[in-house]
Amino acid sequence: MGKILLYLALVVFFSGLGILGGYFVADLYNLPHIEQLEEYQPSQITRIYSGDGEILAEFSQERREVATLARIPLWIQNAFIAAEDQRFYQHRGIDFRRILKAAWVDLRTWSMAEGASTITQQLARNLFLTPKKTFLRKLKEAILAIQIERRYSKKEILQMYLNQIYFGKGIYGVGEAASFYFGKNVGEINLAESAFLATIPRNPTYYSPLNHPDHTNQRKKIILKRMLELDFITEDEWRTTKEEFINVAISKGKERKGAIFHAPYFVEWVRQKIEKKYGYRRLWRAGLKVYTSLDLDLQKKAEETLVPYLKENDHQGALLAIDPHTGWVKALVGGRDFAESQFNRATQARRQTGSAFKIFTYTAAIDSRKFTSVSPFYDAPIFFRRAKKVGKSGEIREEGEYWSPENFEKHFWGRVYLWQMFTHSINVSSVKLLQEVGVGKVIDYAHRLGIEGLLNHDLTLTLGTSGLSLLEMVRGYATIANYGIKVKPIFIQRVEDRKGRVIEENFPQGEIVLSPQASFVMIDLLKKTIDYGTGRRVRSLGFNRPCAGKTGTVGWPAKKITDKTIDAWFIGFTPDLVAGVWIGNDDATPLGEKMTGSAVAIPVWTEFMKRALQEKPVKDFPSPSGIVFKKIDVETGLLASPQSRDTLWFAFLEGTAPQRYSSQANDLSRSMIEEINSIRFFPELE
């Protein structure tokens, strides 16, 4: 009976030993292939740059700047060898002397405190294994280290190691550690700083330079002593550096894995585009270099102008500036505070534009050649019957109510000319103009000039009742400023991979959508808006350069003009810069009484443009061929005569200027003019 029990015990023992051995063999058989290192690409930082090369933001899961061994000072290399593996150049992956010493210390202290891993073993663990301390992991680590040593040189191993080690705070590699803790390029690190950095990877929490600088500096002395003993430094170098206390200074935002340093709304817009096109992994790990169109100097001026105003007055807003010739977005402020709200009001918000939309109605009118800047209209009350409701069988169920547009000033102008309707934002006569030009045609022109959103297909269109983004509106105005050539807004100029290879490049793309002559007539009208119309405040605030622009004011409730504004706009341009400003509340509550585009948006626009152009030469808009200038009698809309008291110069498409002089005005039948222009229309509202 005893022999049977012994036999069974031996069977169980050797069976278990066999099973355990089989487990170990199977596990070891699944070791990673060292050949993977040939394709190994450590996670790197993706950086977003301004147009002038300044870093705007960094995105990474592991903050790492890969540095070649040639760039890493010998001091740093030797400091890590002294700290982690003094016989690095003598062993072949495993240091048996060190293993025996560590085993003796561990037995004597009855602990596992003494480490015996070589730099090669640490590299194997960091790349392929877990940090969990087990016998099996140590065995795998040793096997992998031997394989690595057979395949790679010591210098290649040391370079991989120095770019892989962890320094706390999401920092990997000596290149990024030098930048993070000292604000230096790795090649600028001195001896004391080298020993200081070499202390951290042993225990990034205990030796944290941020939380425990005394621990770090104390171990720095130990490493310097080891470097002296190994003849890595001289006694004079040791003596002059051992007592040097190292302080660190971290730049603002460096501790975050995704750090935005400038232009947060612009950067976030770019980040979303990059992630959508290249994927999450490439954005956060591939070390892309994204070069944008942003002018950092203009961006700072935009922020310094808009943000204090918004904070002082406690409503939201946006400012967007682009180069009309290239489409490069030069500045973008999407709100009062990015930390408070990441919603980008320059690109994502769709708000009613008010009279700022009239530019599309009047462009369609001018380009048709049926209307000129001095075409006469009669501004008087007008009523429109809303669309009829028709039953399934075609019968008219309900005639619909009447709608009557109102002017902001609550009065009617009587006889007016097209240029006055535009510069003074006269609503009623503008609706008459839309009716004559055609709603569908104006929508076509708006889309042609750069508007992409849905537009209301009715006569309220010219009053700006459609929800549009600031980016769309600025693009539309830029087409006029660029003499009819529509350009695509460009945020990203170029994207490079980690090796500097260009993987995306965007060039200005222009499409001729309007004649330069029609564009120039509109520029002339927009200039008169600033000199004589709703944009006059630009001049009163001291901006005297040639410029063109249009206000937009949306009252409360929607589609009805009152004294309470919910959206205030101004979009204007000089020959080389277009900028738009929107002010309002996210919940569309009123800003207050008389908070018009002129009162609210123009001051921001004017201050920004003053700052943006203060060192630029003064330029005017050149006239293209096919344009004629005529001196017009403001009262009659005819060519000025010697008797004319109030005159202005106007631009006309060739062949469309008036032929009669104001002195001949009496030859016209005034009653005929009034009969034509004072008709009160009663058509259906489209």
Annotate 490-533 with DSSP letters as a single string. BSEEEEE-TTS-EEEE----EEE-S-HHHHHHHHHHHHHHHHHS
Q: How far apart are CA 585 and CA 565, in angstroms?
A: 10
End-to-end CA distance of the chain: 107
Dihedral sign, CA of 413, 414, 420, 422? positive
Q: How far apart are CA 426 and CA 377, in angstroms?
A: 11
Which residues share a beta bridge with 321? 331, 579
Spell out where 131-244 has E strands.
171-172
Catalytic residue (choose from 84, 149, 472, 607): 84
Q: How far apart are CA 40 and CA 524, in angstroms?
A: 61
Q: Which two tokens stand for residue 288?
A: 């892309």
Q: Do 198 and 76 form a contact (C-beta atoms < 8 A)?
A: yes
Q: How far apart are CA 330 and CA 349, in angstroms?
A: 19
DSSP reduced 3-state for 75: helix
Q: How many CA atoms lie within 13 A of 554 on its CB side?
A: 31
Tell me which residue of 169, 168, 198, 194 sits closest to 83, measured CA to CA. Answer: 198
Catalytic residue (choose from 60, 355, 375, 466): 355
DSSP3 helix / strand / coil % (the chain, rounded to 5): 45, 15, 40
DSSP reduced 3-state for 367: helix
Q: Which two tokens stand for residue 498?
A: 């980690």
- Residue 648 belongs to what H/E stretch? strand 647-653
Q: How far apart are CA 274 and CA 554, in angstroms?
A: 35
Q: Is position 341 annotated as part of the catalytic site?
A: no
Question: How many angstroms separate the Cα of 255 from the Cα of each of 62, 125, 269?
Answer: 11, 26, 22
Helix runs in 30-166, H state only: 74-84, 96-109, 119-128, 135-151, 154-164
Q: Which two tokens stand for residue 47?
A: 């950086």
Q: Which two tokens stand for residue 66?
A: 């890969």
Q: How far apart are CA 54 and CA 56, in angstroms?
A: 6
Tell me which residue of 390, 374, 383 sits closest to 435, measured CA to CA. Answer: 383
Q: Is position 84 annotated as part of the catalytic site?
A: yes
Tell me which residue of 141, 157, 140 sits closest to 149, measured CA to CA. Answer: 157
Q: How far apart are CA 123 and CA 285, in angstroms?
A: 20
Helix runs in 287-405, H state only: 296-313, 358-367
Q: Do 291 and 494 form a contact (C-beta atoms < 8 A)?
A: yes
Q: How far apart are CA 557 and CA 567, in angstroms?
A: 11
Radius of gyration of the chain (CA): 37
Torsion, Cα of 638, 643, 649, 654 (10° steps)? 40
Q: Which residues are catalytic?
A: 84, 355
